[in-house]
Chain A
């Protein structure tokens, strides 16, 4: 099965993003089953790695003004976090 793909916006120095540690971030779904839901955002508890192969899904990285970084990272989403209950 093809890997799922997400992206996220990193507003700090990329080097400051902790790898292999649980953290909360906003990700956008780039490959939903129903295409109408593409770019749906969600708060997620996840672990990321700058290695493209470490975790099950791909994570594309954009900087604060939308600049797409050339190489994707990988991500394991542990759970969605609901901010509205």
Chain B
């Protein structure tokens, strides 16, 4: 950027931006700080900023009451598993749409996306009954299946927008070089689309990790993910503020860290081809 601005303007903008950003961040900061306070300090009439009696007992209590590691493990399996499964189904479909489009391709894409608009509540009851009959209730694989289905349209759309940027010449060159479709996809398309596939993967892990409707309605003890874990803290309020914060922090920390580290990739993915 070659724009030059007076230093005073720059200071003003910087201050404003930081104030707004910190306000937006304050709920997360609150969780971070409260998690290390005692319950008494957390609800004190005159609030403290930093924990006065730094304590880790909230975390121990949380783990005691409802097994964090089991839930976290389920979350990882479901979010990563459903994303990988989604990519396995989505990459071939996106290849077809991007490189062998027909008149109906755009409609198919829009239709896929519209299945995402279908309100989950509209189909909750039948899904619940089907799951009950197939003994999929409260299983990790059942939940992974649902998560794959609800995120598949997003996966396909993102991949489609990335694939469309790859010159078709290169795939044709591979065909001329004797590559069958499988080799064309594995040795040429996928390696060229790595950045796009990575951001698709990241975004969908996050979406699956944070999904709260199906995880809560279809699981209970055994296959519960972190959203189910945190919901178990939502009912008894009041005196549980610090423990609630500790549980919240545990639930969001993994994805928050992942998000921070992959922020660049992710934002590129988030734009859904909206920015050329």
Q: Do A and B originate from a single complex?
A: no
Where the two chains meet, the residues of B that have a C-beta atom closer than 8 Å to any C-beta of A are none
